């Protein structure tokens, strides 16, 4: 059974801007309404995960750390090993101690086996920039806006798995998970304008044309690439009809959740979760990568 980490949204707000999507003015215009909607949206995502057969562990909210609701950025987790993130922006650096404590508790319970800190001088923002592709047996790894190029060697060395570097071309798509999503059938849903030409060449060399699903501007702006894939189910923010049709034609079932309060901060379904039970060993009963 898949196991995810989520964070209680009780202290979520959009009160600063560290990416182009963040809209603190819109949040301030209706704080109470936005917070109520965020709690409902988080609950809807949690319910969707459970309906798909997953379990969910929760981290408590912390006042003054609104982006704690995006635990995908907290760490890279594979085979019970945890590589903790180091955040580039000071606004998020306070999250590091909270997530370290959470992972230490999970270690004591046997949920994960070991926890490692990133070496000093490097930045890496977790599974948001290191997405495990079970079928291809590699990490797709974004770098540039948030994660430093040098951190990718640490990911490769710690987990002992191939890492494919993909340079991100825009602050608008600041983490790989905003623009790239490998699916259980071998397809990759991705947004080409988010990548440099070198990164696009790497994707196209490794993923056959028939398995490449190019997201449109509308798909990407709706944060639908930032999705959670469990077997043939894809959980995502509200999708444009054309994207829904394309994915359903490939045999996927879409579960849409209204995540608009979190899109005001530049995140959606994938950002709001962190898969804890991910394994590098393919199993007949395994649930596929997010």
Q: Which of these, 60, 48, 96, lies nearest to 233 by C-alpha position?
A: 48
**290 and 226 in contact (C-beta within 8 Å)?**
no
Residue 112: how many other CB atoms lie within 10 Å: 22
Of the residues 179, 181, 224, 271, only one is catalytic, namely 271
Q: Is 175 part of the annotated catalytic residue set?
A: yes
Q: Which of these, 104, 48, 97, 106, lies nearest to 270 by C-alpha position?
A: 48
* Cβ within 8 Å of residue 263, ≥6 positions away: 21, 222, 223, 237
**CA terminus-to-terminus distance, the chain:** 14
Q: How many helices and strands in the chain, by DSSP H and E?
A: 9, 15
Of the residues 175, 179, 181, 224, only one is catalytic, namely 175
For residues 175 and 111, give the distance between their C-alpha atoms in angstroms, rounded to a whole number: 26
The alpha helices in the chain, defined as continuous H runs, are: 24-28, 31-51, 90-93, 95-108, 151-159, 197-206, 217-221, 241-249, 260-263
Rg (CA), the chain: 17
Active site residues: 175, 271
């Amino acid at each position: 059974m898949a196991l995810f980490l989520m964070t209680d949204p009780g202290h979520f707000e959009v009160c600063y801007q560290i990416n182009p999507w963040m809209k603190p003015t819109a949040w301030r215009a209706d704080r109470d309404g936005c917070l109520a909607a965020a709690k409902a949206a988080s609950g809807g995502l949690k319910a969707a995960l459970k309906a798909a057969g997953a379990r969910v562990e929760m981290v408590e909210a912390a006042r003054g750390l609104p982006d704690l609701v995006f635990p995908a950025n907290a760490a890279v987790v594979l085979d019970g090993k945890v590589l903790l993130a180091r955040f580039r922006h000071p606004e998020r650096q306070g999250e590091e101690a909270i997530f370290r404590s959470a992972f230490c508790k999970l270690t004591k319970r046997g949920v994960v086996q070991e926890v490692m800190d990133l070496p000093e001088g490097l930045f890496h923002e977790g599974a948001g920039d290191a997405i495990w592709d079970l079928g291809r047996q590699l990490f797709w790894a974004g770098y540039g806006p948030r994660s430093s190029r040098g951190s990718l060697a640490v990911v490769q060395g710690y987990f002992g798995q191939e890492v494919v570097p993909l340079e991100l071309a825009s602050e608008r798509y600041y983490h790989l998970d905003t623009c790239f999503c490998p699916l259980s059938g071998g397809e990759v849903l991705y947004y080409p304008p988010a990548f440099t030409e070198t990164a696009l060449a790497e994707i196209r060399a490794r993923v056959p044309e028939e398995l490449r699903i190019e997201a449109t501007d509308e798909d990407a702006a709706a944060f639908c690439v930032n999705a959670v894939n469990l077997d043939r189910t894809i959980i995502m923010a509200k999708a444009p009809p054309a994207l829904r049709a394309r994915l359903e034609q490939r045999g996927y079932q879409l579960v849409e959740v209204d995540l608009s309060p979190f899109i005001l901060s530049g995140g959606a379904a994938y950002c709001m979760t962190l898969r804890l039970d991910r394994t590098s060993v393919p199993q007949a009963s395994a649930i596929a990568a997010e």
